[in-house]
Amino acid sequence: MEKASDIMTKDVVCVKVPGVREDVLQLIHEHNHFGFPVVKKGENTLVGIITRTDLMRKPDENQIALLMTRDVVSLNKDASLKEIASILLSNRIRRVPIVEDDQIVGLITTADIVHKTILRANISDPVEKHMKKEVVSIYEGTPLPVALTIMELANVELMPVLNDASELSGVLSKADLFSSSEIISERKISSMSAESEGDSWSWDAIPQLVVTKKELRLPSKPVSEIMVKNVISTFEQTPISECAKLMRKHDVDQIPVTTVNGELVGIIRDTDLLQAYFDKLTEK
């Protein structure tokens, strides 16, 4: 059976501490990845993980050490794919660092298992058996800030987009929203003195504290301006391994599922494929 060393990425791109938010944004732009291991500058010792979610959750924080997740789940290079899949699924994470003597030597993501293993695992189960049937869709005229709120409330990473005729016209992901966000700086002035009623005197000059706060904001433009219009979809009866090939070909991690008549009936995610793969391994 394959193990971590067989499919892991060995040239791991890492974020270094000390560092700032802009360092992470630069790596996201350069590599089109949304999560990175964090190591000490000048060393290769794993100290954390930082993801797009961390940046969005703390928009006014700038230091990587305060943004990153410190309690990192890691494995060694001899870990089996069954063990890796179990760790990813049970912890609801998308990447696990591979460590040897406290040094990071590799990284395995959900995409690695889908693209390198599941696509050739000959899993014939149809997509409909594992897809998510409760689909949260959105109207293409919805403002982006509202779209993000809907995603957060529904706990989804991708939403099909519908037009005026209720037809599928695109898809919108959190990655699309993140790419469209802007860092806005606000300066707020706060008085450092307290007034007392009845005082017959007061300071001529009141000390003031000037605070600059950075926030991640979305412009109020409609979903239709940033959604992906060339929608990749699949059918209910598509085998799991064939779906994995489709995800690799188009470099996507979620695909809308339709009937042969084009009716939207679900969403299949790479984590769903991983669960199907783990189920098969558990059966053996």
Q: pLDDT for 255-272, tens place per residue?
A: 999 988 888 899 999 999
The answer to whether residue 199 sits within a structural domain is no
Decide which of 90, 116, 142 is a domain's last residue. Answer: 116
For residue 195, is it within any domain? no
Q: What total of structural domains would you count in the chain?
A: 2
DSSP state of 120: G
What is the pTM (predicted TM-score) of this model? 0.81
Q: What is the pLDDT of residue 192?
A: 46
Same domain (yes/no): 99, 165:
no
Strands 46-51 and 95-100: unpaired
Examine the domain organization and report whether 84 and 172 are in the same domain: no
Range of the domain at 108: 4-116
Whether 254 contacts 158, CB under 8 Å: yes
CATH number at residue 15: 3.10.580.10
Secondary structure element (H or E) that encloses residue 52, with its range: helix 52-57
Q: Are residues 224 and 271 located together in one domain of the fold?
A: yes
Residue 206 lies in a domain: no
Residue 156 belongs to a domain? yes
Instruction: Tell me if 26 sits within 8 A of 148, measured CB to CB.
Output: no
Q: How many CB atoms lie within 10 A of CB 200?
A: 4
pLDDT digit of tens for each residue in the chain (284 aa)? 789 999 999 999 999 999 998 899 888 878 888 899 999 988 889 999 999 888 878 877 889 999 999 989 999 999 999 999 999 999 999 999 999 988 999 999 999 999 999 999 999 999 999 999 999 999 999 999 999 899 989 988 899 999 998 888 999 998 888 888 765 555 555 544 444 444 444 444 445 444 444 555 788 899 999 999 999 999 999 999 999 999 999 999 999 999 888 888 999 999 999 999 999 999 86
User: Is the CB of residue 60 less than 8 Å from the CB of residue 215?
Assistant: yes
| Alpha-carbon span 106 to 3, nearest angstrom | 12
**C-alpha gyration radius of the chain:** 23
